Structure 1
Amino acid sequence: MPLPPTPSPAHRRARAAPSPVPRPSRRHIAPLDGLRGAAVLGVLFFHAGHFDGGFLGVDLFFVLSGFLITGLLLTEARARDGRIDLLAFWGRRARRLLPALAVVLAGTLLLVWALGPPNLLRYALDDGPWVAANLANWHFVADRVGYWDSAGTRVFSHLWSIAVEEQFYVVWPLVLCLSARGRGGGRRVAAVAAAGAAASLVLMVVLTTPADTTRVYEGTDTRAFSLLLGALAATEPAARLVSRLGERAAGRWSLALAAGIGAYWITADGQNSPSLFRGGLFLHALAAALLIACLARAPRTPAGRFLAAAPLRRLGTVSYSLYLWHWPVYLLLSEERLGLEGAPRTAVLLAVSVALAVLSKVLVEDPVRFRARWAKGRTGAVALVAAFAALAALWTAVPQPRTGEGSVDVTRLGPGGG
């Protein structure tokens, strides 16, 4: 067997040199699309009544959002001497999120009006304006809408998590503008993210009551740690720590973390797992942040290749619209209406939800994000105001059902929320 060629001195020096610290960038990390796909699959099966721990997919979404958004903002701050164009950032977020949300709000209201029972319409009319204002989570908390047992009558109950993310997108860039400037900005951002995550955990532990965990589960302050741990993973100090791992070590950690997260999903059981609200959700988010950091460091390891497989990745690319549409579909296509139950009904629900998500991406999301020139600048702002004015007009045009009409058997609708 021939011996391998002897490396040159220059090659030996290059191989011995430490690898550069990977900085958050705009490079596409395919396994993270697969993580989105896994997260939305967990939620879909949770709401269909087949997977008690699938609600943790929302937590995974939060961590991913914190990581990706912070990476983009820090990249911009480095390129512009610590400055961030907030209006441009908020404009991009609005084009990404609000068109699909507006279509789901209008489409769902019309479908519920035409097909749903009166109490479903009554709650849709009550909840919709708060969803449009991205305050749905606080609306549900103030109305004491029990997350775990009342969502079968609330067609927009799953959108509490969208409100949490939108509130984060408003506040966190402002924090970065103040902390990322000048020398040591990356360290300051990391310190702020870590301190904020710790404070959020303390609030969750202090405010948790066994009778109803909705306040801590849906409160922006008590869920911020998931977004902030993702943000921490995107900072340069965190990237420097992860860079010390070789690719093989990062691959082993990715597998171990993914297995641990999967095991936690299998054993978790919502409000029947009190440890979730006394550190369990925090540890889950921390594991997810570490997994994301390892995948960003070494995306071509076995765990990365599995998550980058085409089915999961493609599901991840439509995960936002799929999340928006699935719960209204689940409530409207009841067992009675379909004449199906169990796995056959779930197959129909998944097929309809995916079809609507693909249509939303192709006809609404992508055109507004990438091709519609009118969607930017002042014309975009005017179009946004006009769209939500039209939503408000629709809300006033739909008549309130008479009190006492109709009912929904929530026990036949599967777990609620999301």
Structure 2
Amino acid sequence: MSTLRQTLTREIPSLTGLRGLAAFWVLLYHAWANATPRVIEIGSGPYALNLTIAFSGGWTGVDVFFTLSAFLLTLPFVQWQMGLAPRPSLGTYWVRRILRVFPAYYAQLAVLLLLAGAFGIGVWPDARRLIGNLLLWFNFGSSGVAPINGVAYTLPIEFCFYLVLPLLALLLRPRWWVLLALLAIVETQLYRHLMFDPAAETMSKVLVLEQMPGRLDQFVFGMLAAYAYARMTVAGNLPHRRVSDALFLAGVAGVVLMLVLMQLGFEAYWQGSWLLYVWHGATGAAVALMLFAAAAGSGIARVLLANRPLRRLGVISFGVYLWHPPILEWLTAAGVFDRIEGYRLPWSLPILLLATVLVAELSYRLVERPMLRLGHRRGAKTAPATEPAAAPQA
């Protein structure tokens, strides 16, 4: 039993690398948009390969983050349900979740406020917006406020999932998991259909429909992937490496298919297209398949994702995610890219990536790592090494 528990709490290098890739993908999207979006093609004429979707679809990295987070955080609860470990302490769970998000977020918020107040870089928020940013009050309809850092809108979505995860994990049992899957799908569809008409304007629809209840299915698919992985590990019937490779490629193909469908139908998306109701869930299911396959030992996943650069990027991914938008804004305002002739993305992207990685490393070393160590002093024996808070250095 101890051996099985160690297997389920070990770091999965491919998943650490996938987290790094997701952070880079979001950064790539913003760099592409800032450089004046255009069609990205290799070759010319009828043989040209259009790769634009790889750039314009970079916001899908957020979907990867959500499903991956659900997978990793579910593993300790699955171990408890299977009798491999004590019941996770909810107190420890909450301490770790808070220390994982708020110290790094508040440190950045302090820097942004200092720059705005002392040097006029950025905009100083009014009292309502400041309080809303301190409380992460972003995704709550007309009562919400605009985040000072745009990407922070995703933090309350994930934090709401943290609230319900311990309850949802009670259904991770034989036969009950089907009920969990149906509950998530039905709830997501009901929420999106019922809340579509009340939110008249497109921006209102974004604020309302992108709350956690409208994306619960993709979180739950990550949970179910973790449950399947743990069950098959204990039973000793994980799929053969070739099967894992096939499953991983199927998941990748699923993500690509959803991106292509979105590119073809994006104009009708917020008008009530069928994609509005299934896109996040279907993409989450494809990502969950990738997670299961990578954890089960896919050689392709290991080659693509478990390399040293991506794993290190995965360790500092939260800082990369948080810091790249303001850094891009500062570099642009300072005219760093103005002297670049022609299409500037090939030059602006490496500059942005380098600057972001340096700042993210500082954030990790000075803020995140000390806080994570503090959080893991409690119940260290039950902490999975695959949890984002415990990802080891590459």
Residue of structure 1 in register with 2:286 after alignment: 287
Could you report, residue by residue, the CA deviation over 1:33-66 in whole angstroms, capped at 9, with x for unpaired residues? Answer: 1211221122112122152211111011000011
Q: Is the 8 A contact 1:201 1:225 kept in 2?
A: no
Residue of structure 2 in register with 1:42 after alignment: 25
SS at match of 1:121: coil
**Is 2:222 the partner of 1:230?**
yes
Matches within 5 A, 1:364-379: 364-370=367-373
**Is 2:183 the partner of 1:195?**
yes
CA distance in 1 between partners of 2:182 and 2:5 (Å): 20
Deviation at 1:93, TM superposition (A): 1.7
Residue of structure 1 in register with 2:300 after alignment: 302
CA distance in 2 between partners of 1:46 and 1:63 (Å): 19
**Is 2:196 the partner of 1:208?**
yes
CA distance in 2 between partners of 1:242 and 1:253 (Å): 18
Matches within 5 A, 1:10-409: 25-48=8-31, 49=33, 51-79=55-83, 83-116=87-120, 120-122=123-125, 126-138=128-140, 141-142=141-142, 155-176=148-169, 178-179=170-171, 185=173, 187-189=175-177, 191-208=179-196, 211-212=201-202, 213-236=205-228, 239-240=231-232, 243=237, 245-262=239-256, 264-265=258-259, 268-269=262-263, 272=267, 274=269, 275-299=274-298, 301-335=299-333, 337-340=335-338, 342-343=344-345, 344-370=347-373
CA distance in 2 between partners of 1:368 and 1:217 (Å): 33
CA distance in 2 between partners of 1:256 and 1:244 (Å): 17
Could you report, residue by residue, the CA deviation over 1:354-396 in whole angstroms, capped at 9, with x for unpaired residues? Answer: 11111111111112222689x869xxxxxxxxxxxxxxxxxxx
CA distance in 1 between partners of 2:103 and 2:193 (Å): 36
Could you report, residue by residue, the CA deviation over 1:80-106 in whole angstroms, capped at 9, with x for unpaired residues? Answer: 777331001111222222211111111
Could you report, residue by residue, the CA deviation over 1:254-282 in whole angstroms, capped at 9, with x for unpaired residues? Answer: 12322442454466349536143131221
Could you report, residue by residue, the CA deviation over 1:194-213 in whole angstroms, capped at 9, with x for unpaired residues? Answer: 42243213322443368413
CA distance in 2 between partners of 1:45 and 1:38 (Å): 10
**Structure 1 stretches lacking a partner, 5+ long:** 1-20, 146-150, 378-418
Matched AA of 2:134: A
Q: Is the 8 A contact 2:75 2:230 kept in 1?
A: no
SS at match of 2:11: coil
Q: Is the 8 A contact 1:250 1:294 kept in 2?
A: yes
Q: Is the 8 A contact 1:71 1:235 kept in 2?
A: yes
**Structure 2 stretches lacking a partner, 5+ long:** 38-54, 380-394
Identity %: 29
Q: Which moved more, 1:327-336 or 1:285-294?
A: 327-336
Q: Is the 8 A contact 2:92 2:378 kept in 1?
A: no
So what's the TM-score if we normalise by structure 2? 0.75
Matched AA of 1:365: E
Q: Is the 8 A contact 1:38 1:312 kept in 2?
A: yes
SS at match of 1:83: coil
Q: Is the 8 A contact 1:156 1:328 kept in 2?
A: yes
So what's the TM-score if we normalise by structure 1? 0.71
CA distance in 2 between partners of 1:339 and 1:306 (Å): 31
Q: Which moved more, 1:37-46 or 1:332-341?
A: 332-341
Matched AA of 2:223: A
Q: Is the 8 A contact 1:112 1:121 kept in 2?
A: yes
Q: Which moved more, 1:54-63 or 1:329-338?
A: 329-338
Q: Which moved more, 1:345-354 or 1:85-94?
A: 345-354
